[in-house]
Amino acid sequence: MVHEHSAAELPHYNLYIDGEWRPATSDQTFTVYDPANGQPLATCASATTNDVDRAVMAARTAFDHGPWPHTSPAQRAEILHAIADALEARNFELAEIESRDAGVPLRKTTYNDITLGLEILRGCAELARKHPYEPLPWNELPTVSWNFVWREPIGVCAQIIPWNYAFCMAAWKLGPALATGNTVVFKPSSLAPLSTLAIFQTIHELNLLPKGVVNLVLGPGGEVGEYLVAHPAVDKVAFTGSTEVGRKIMALAAQHVKRVTLELGGKNAMLILPDADLDLVVDGVLWGAFYHSGQLCEAGSRLLVPHTLHDTLVDRLVERVRGMRIGDPMDLETDIGPLISERQREKVERYIAIGREEGATVVVGGGRPLGEAFSHGHYIEPTIFTGVRPEMRIAQEEIFGPVLSVIAYNDIGEAIRIANNSIYGLAASVWSRDLQHALTVARRIRAGTVWINEHHVLNPYAPFGGYRQSGFGREMGRYGLDEYTEIKHIHVDLMQRRQGRLWWDTLLPE
């Protein structure tokens, strides 16, 4: 049972293993909170290593002995479409779950997150139909043969996601893994597991997947996550989260030479060219920097502005930031909700203090909003720093909050150097009226996604992922599916006779 009510009248969630909701093998639980007011929302069973073993073995058995890896791509596509349809019927409920659990404004979850997540599942279904077969060029060496690539599932995939964008993140991990015939053990973040639980609930009720194909474990990343990643029966690890944990995961996976894809942090530049349309830029920068309070890996956290535009642009941004509505994520008027946790708010405040110590200037924000409405949530004002130099920590380190660092530049060569002066390389945006010039600049930026006159917009058919320490491997689109496949070359001899073979020339036949 998923939805028991505990003594405290909170919903309680169990683990999902081998097609059943099961309690953990210990009594340990953890509580999930609403970051807007600190109220508990639910309790969850915390998995033990025994539970992780059971989940991995269920996925192993479903892969090694079950029908799933051998179902046709068309059948898998149908199931993914059915899952997307069933989730779509819960659209508004899912948006509310995500907003409460992660503190994301309801406008964002309603109009973006759920829609995008569903689009991604459907995109994977469509790609799955065409995916496994790839013809190779004709070859007559040494004789005529037919050669092609056959894509096969990797096996048991451990998938770990963070708390931000959880619904989408779950869709873009489960979608490609299932489309290509893998089995899964999934671990959401303990800070916001509820939308993932809703997806598993829907999958369970639909009852279209063979048992053991998808499994869900819950609990702290440092224990449950690490044990899962290191498990010898896991074939692939797909991780989204911080660069720090990503490094650890890569090391753990090395032991059994597991396949690994990592989607990690970012310190993404928004590069304004001198001819940019400033009305568009003001909107775009607010969107890039403060969407979901900047708690997005691809958030624009560095603003590179030509000296000539600096003061005008900063004045306009400050004025607009003062008008942004901070408040309850469940209110459709809210622009900025709370941060995910007290720990995250303290981290952001530490960085604001560091920026001041480094000599940068807070021109707007910088503190906690005042008033009773904010007293129990992890709120922080949207904050802009000017006078930032590229080597400062607030220009180099990922803050993961509503803090924008403005850096002035002299010429475009310098701007590109500053944009690329980072250990990260996830995303960037370039703003200009001259598309040709913008394209030239876009091609010189070392990042996995570059938007021109846009930011944040993910495309279910476009690869998303990082250069450098933002990770490797891509999610979404064909490249995303490829990460869940082994590549098999099949060679079929078409001559069907002894003459002309390589062996005829090199080994003497009798």
307 half-sphere exposure, CB direction, 13 A CA radius: 4
**Residue among 171, 124, 217, 166 nearest 485 (CA):** 124
Which of 229, 326 has the CB closer to ligand NAP?
229
Question: Which of Mg ion, ligand NAP, none binds 377 (CB below 5-8 Å, type-dependent)?
Answer: none
Amino acid identity of 419? A
- In whole angstroms, give the CA distance from residue 377 to residue 367: 14
Catalytically annotated residue among 263, 298, 381, 483: 263
| Site mask for Mg ion (CB under 5 A), range 181-220, x = bound | ----------xx----------------------------
Tell me whether residue 297 is one of the annotated catalytic residues. yes
Question: Which of ligand NAP, Mg ion, none binds 360 (CB below 5-8 Å, type-dependent)?
Answer: none
Which of 242, 440 has the CB closer to ligand NAP?
242
**Residue among 414, 419, 382 nearest 399 (CA):** 382
- In whole angstroms, give the CA distance from residue 156 to residue 486: 12
The tokens for 1 are 């049972």
| Four-point Cα dihedral 161, 164, 170, 176, nearest 10 | -80
Starting at the edge strand that comes first in sequence, how are the strands of the sheet with 11-13 ordered?
Answer: 4-5, 11-13, 40-45, 29-33
Catalytically annotated residue among 44, 297, 298, 398: 297
Which of 99, 301 has the CB closer to Mg ion?
99
Which of 80, 191 has the CB closer to ligand NAP?
191
CB of 493 to ligand NAP, least distance (A): 44
* Angstrom distances, CA of residue 96 to CA of 34, 52, 171, 332: 12, 30, 17, 11
CB of 390 to ligand NAP, least distance (A): 20
Site for ligand NAP, residues 158 to 177, rule: CB under 6 A: 160-165
Is the CA virtual torsion 416, 419, 421, 424 positive or negative?
negative
- Position 248 contacts ligand NAP (CB under 6 A): yes
188 upstream amide cis, omega within 30 of 0: no
> What region, left, alpha or beta, does residue 125 occupy, with left being phi > 0 and alpha being psi -120 to 50 degrees?
alpha
- In whole angstroms, give the CA distance from residue 319 to residue 323: 7
- Position 98 contacts ligand NAP (CB under 6 A): no
- Position 351 contacts ligand NAP (CB under 6 A): no
Site for Mg ion, residues 98 to 127, rule: CB under 5 A: 101
- In whole angstroms, give the CA distance from residue 417 to residue 412: 9
The tokens for 118 are 């569903």
Site for Mg ion, residues 21 to 40, rule: CB under 5 A: 32
CB of 299 to ligand NAP, least distance (A): 8
- Position 226 contacts ligand NAP (CB under 6 A): yes
Which of 195, 405 has the CB closer to Mg ion?
195
Question: Which of ligand NAP, Mg ion, none binds 101 (CB below 5-8 Å, type-dependent)?
Answer: Mg ion
The tokens for 419 are 């944009």
CB of 102 to ligand NAP, least distance (A): 11
Tell me whether residue 397 is one of the annotated catalytic residues. no
- Position 189 contacts ligand NAP (CB under 6 A): yes
Tell me the residue number closest to ligand NAP, measured at CB: 221
Which of 66, 265 has the CB closer to ligand NAP?
265
SS (H, E, C) 44-99: EECCCHHHHHHHHHHHHHHHHCCCHHHCCHHHHHHHHHHHHHHHHCCHHHHHHHHH
Residue span binding Mg ion (CB under 5 A) among the ranges 94-102, 309-317, 417-425, 491-499: 94-102
- In whole angstroms, give the CA distance from residue 311 to residue 317: 10
For Mg ion, the binding residues (CB under 5 A) are 32, 101, 191-192
Q: Which positions are catalytic?
A: 263, 297
For ligand NAP, the binding residues (CB under 6 A) are 160-165, 187, 189-191, 220-222, 225-226, 229, 240-242, 245, 248-249, 263-266, 297, 398, 400, 426, 466, 471
